[in-house]
Structure 1
Amino acid sequence: MWQHICEQISSSLGARFDCDKPTQLKGDSEQQIYLLENPQYQFFVKLASKGQHQRFESEVLGLEHLRVASAIYIPQVISCGVVAQKSYLVLEYLPFVKPDEKDWRSFGQQLAKLHQFEPQPMYGWQEDNYIGLSVQPNQWHKKWATFFAEQRIGYQLQLLKEKGHELANIDSIIAKVKELLHNHQPKASLLHGDLWQGNLGFILHQSCLFDPACYYGDRETDLAMSELFGQLPMPFYQGYNDIWPVDEGYEYRKSIYQLYHILNHALLFGGNYLASAHTLIVNLDA
């Protein structure tokens, strides 16, 4: 397997790449992470089951779109494929450093510019992709309230119901979210889609994004996610507002957008996320 991956890296580089022993960095039952290196090169390799190949392909597509659109650094895709009943994704290895306040402010400014890049007339994506390990439907739609209520909140509630967790009447919650977002029709911005501290880093003084769940939607969803699992440093938000201040009503919509990610975590991990999801659903009527 590793010989095949090294051969694919060599083909991409146009130069021979050999590695005696991969170093495992981390992993779980779904995915393992390795470092492949020799004196000249270092690469970051994700391994998963053969059935996860489409998820890696979707990640490649998202990275390619972010690379075209943004001043934010996006890791280069080296190779993606299937070998020995394993799917793999090879990316350039990035040595992250600790950022300072100026770096965070610059990242906020760069994200705002990403969100301003060639907005689309509709909400969605050219294919369904993934948020973590969960399928993320992305059928194009003209109305943001309908798109988010049905393809984000409603879809996650249905997946949870099929898993034995019926948190609420799905049709009622979809209707409530449509009502709450009815008058909000934002520009359809290119989104990272899963923006939290674990999916970003800094190389020297340059911000970097990876592990996207891209689609075109309300830019506020990225900002809401950035506040969910440990808010990013304040200079990031100050930098964002330097370029494109958030719209009136963001604080009100934030919890609706965060509900999507809490539902997904409830689906994947259960536990306290189920209780958190229930609380947010109850608060929709507050």
Structure 2
Amino acid sequence: MWHALSLHLSELLDIDFEIREKTAINGGDIHDAYCISDGGEQRFFVKINERELLPAFEAEAEGLRQLAMSGHIRVPQVHFVGPVKDNAALVLNFLPIKSLDDTQAYLLGQHLARHHRWGEQAEYGFDDDNFIGTTEQRNCWHRKWCRFFAEQRIGWQLQLAAERSLHFGNIDTITDNVKAQLVGYTPKPSLLHGDLWSGNMGLSVNGPVVFDPACYWGDREADIAMTELFGGFPQSFYNGYQAEWPLDDGYQQRKDIYNLYHVLNHVNLFGGPYLAQAEQLLIRLSLTN
């Protein structure tokens, strides 16, 4: 497989590239990741998995391309996505990443706010369905945010859970209650990263960078809410965002609804540890009755 990948990169980049060094990179729960090089300065980040997961890599590559279009946030450059022998591969430029200091976190907040303001999309959704982790993410276009989020996010995850014999209550009741809590709220559709937790951002040599997106056009608050879910971002990140584009009134009431989507997705991906968290959120939000 690695020789075949060398040939792909040589042809695409018009260079003579042969993989001489390959180092496994930890941190992912789903894919195998490596840094590859020719023994010199040419280095690439590679994700590998079974060939049947190629659509997930293709969706990730498209998400990175879409995010780059605004010109406001840095993302890795996509060099190759496709089948390699019996595997699927995604090749990006290799960016050594370290934690953000307060200054760089503030900049990331500013950059994200500018990115969220970019674009003139009139509806919520995305041209194609994609993935959140390995879970299919439905993105049918809707004019009403309350309907999009209730049906395409919460309702869809509840259906997937029910197929695994995990039941949190009547799906129609919960979905209707989500709609009721968001009805009348019409945020500007922003191109979201979609999976913005602390493991999907960092500091590169050129400044803050984000990666592993699950893009769609939606309420910017959904991105901000997720930054608070798994460990949180530095406070300076939020200061930078607020300085550039303050959040709307009611964010504190909406963020738990938005984060319920990710908790339910973790139930579907990983099971047990997230069941109680999902149940507690549903109760706290009064969505089950």
- Measured against the shorter chain, the TM-score band is over 0.9
Contact 1:70 1:113 in 2 (8 A): no
Q: Report the equivalent of 1:17.
A: 17
**Maintained 8 Å contact 1:108/1:237:** yes
User: How big is the shift at 1:20?
Assistant: 2.4
- Asked if the contact 2:158–2:264 (Cα under 8 Å) also holds between the matched residues in 1, the reply is yes
* Superposition pairs of residues 13-162 of structure 1, within 5 angstroms: 13-26=13-26, 30-37=30-37, 38-162=39-163
Letter in 1 for 2:3: Q
- What is the distance in 2 between the residues matched to 1:5 and 1:205? 27
**Between the two proteins, what is the percent identity of the paired residues?**
45
Cα offset, 1:99, TM superposition: 2.6
| Contact 2:4/2:85, CA 8 A, preserved across alignment | no
Check the 8 A contact 1:119/1:190 in 2, yes or no. no
- The alignment yields a C-alpha RMSD, in angstroms, of 1.4
The alpha-carbon deviation at position 28 of structure 1 amounts to 7.1
> In the alignment, which residue of structure 1 is the partner of 2:198?
197
| Deviation digits for residues 102-140 of structure 1 (CA, Å, limit 9, x no counterpart) | 111110000000100113100000000000110000000
User: Which whole-Å deviations, capped at 9, do the CAs of 1:151-194 have from their partners, x for residues lacking one?
Assistant: 00000000000011011110000000000000211010000000
SS at match of 1:69: coil
8 A contact 1:30–1:49 mirrored in 2: no
With the length of structure 2 as denominator, give the TM-score of the two structures: 0.96
Question: In 2, are the aligned partners of 1:97 and 1:204 still within 8 Å (CA)?
Answer: no
Return 5+ residue gaps in structure 2 as ranges.
none
Q: Secondary structure of 2:177's partner? A: helix
Separation (CA, whole Å) in 1 of partners of 2:96 and 2:25: 13
**Aligned partner of residue 51 in structure 1, secondary structure:** helix
Q: What amino acid is aligned across from residue 180 of structure 1 in structure 2?
A: Q
Residue 239 of structure 2 is aligned to residue 238 of structure 1: yes
Moved more, 205-214 or 237-246: 205-214
1:55-109 deviations in Å (ceiling 9; x for gaps): 1000111000111113221111111111222100011100123432111111000
CA contact (8 A) 2:105 2:236 kept: yes
- Report deviation, 1:205: 5.7
The 1-side partners of 2:216 and 2:235 are apart by: 26
Q: How many residues align?
A: 286
Which AA in structure 1 matches 2:219?
A: D
Range moving further from structure 2, 19-28 or 82-91:
19-28
Q: Which amino acid aligns with 1:123?
A: Y
> Matched residues in 1 for 2:184 and 2:284: separation?
19
1:272 equivalent in structure 2: 273
Does the 8 A contact of 1:24 with 1:34 survive in 2? Answer: yes
Could you tell me whether the CA contact under 8 Å between 2:124 and 2:148 is conserved in 1? yes
The offset of 1:215, in angstroms, is 0.2
Partner AA of 1:58 in structure 2: A
Q: Is contact 1:32-1:48 (8 Å) kept?
A: yes
What CA distance in whole angstroms lies between the structure 2 residues aligned with 1:134 and 1:279?
Answer: 22
Secondary structure in 1 aligned to 2:79? strand
Asked if 2 retains the 8 angstrom alpha-carbon contact of 1:228 and 1:258, the reply is yes
Classify 1:212/1:248 alpha carbon distance in 2 versus 1 (closer, same or farther; 3 Å): same
Distance (whole Å) between structure 2 residues aligned to residue 149 and residue 42 of structure 1 = 43
What's the offset of the Cα at 1:282?
A: 1.2
The offset of 1:204, in angstroms, is 3.2
Q: 2 CA distance for matches of 1:112 and 1:29? A: 29
Residue 248 of structure 2: aligned partner: 247
